Amino acid sequence: MSRILIIEDERQIREVLKQILERAGYEVDTAEDGRLGLEHFNQQPADMVITDILMPNKDGLETIEELIGQNPNLPIIAISGGGPGEKAQFALDVAKMCGAVRVLAKPFSRKEILEMVTDLLATGG
């Protein structure tokens, strides 16, 4: 069973993603910001990381760079709804430059995230 780490500061989104992925048969861990996500990953590595971009303490871009620096083949999906005065697509484009394998703008459907996760885990990222 594949382990997925979700790093997302919005509790409701974090919990919905966790439910979707657990119902699909994945083992899921969560963290509410990049700092805690990195700590969790170092204690219990995951097969994939899904991270928000705009978060307190350590944003998703820094988190992606650190994860990729330690684990170059780790599949990472970056998600974002943008922020005040910021379009989500810009943040997602930067996330790809930082090492995210796939990006997804919020809101997204259950089907979209499941297809992306299944595809990445099947192909090894």
C-beta separation of 49 from 103 below 8 A: no
Q: What is the residue whose two structure tokens read 């974002």?
A: 80
Give the per-residue pLDDT at 84: 57
Q: Please report the pLDDT score of residue 90 as a whole number.
A: 87
Look up the pTM and report it. Answer: 0.94
d(CA 30, CA 11): 10
The pairing of strands 27-31 and 76-80 is unpaired
Residues of the chain with pLDDT under 70: 82-86, 125
Minimal CA–CA distance to 4: which of 77, 62, 59, 72? 77
Instruction: Specify the CATH number of the domain 3-123.
Output: 3.40.50.2300
How far apart are the C-alpha atoms of 71 and 23, rounded to whole Å?
A: 27
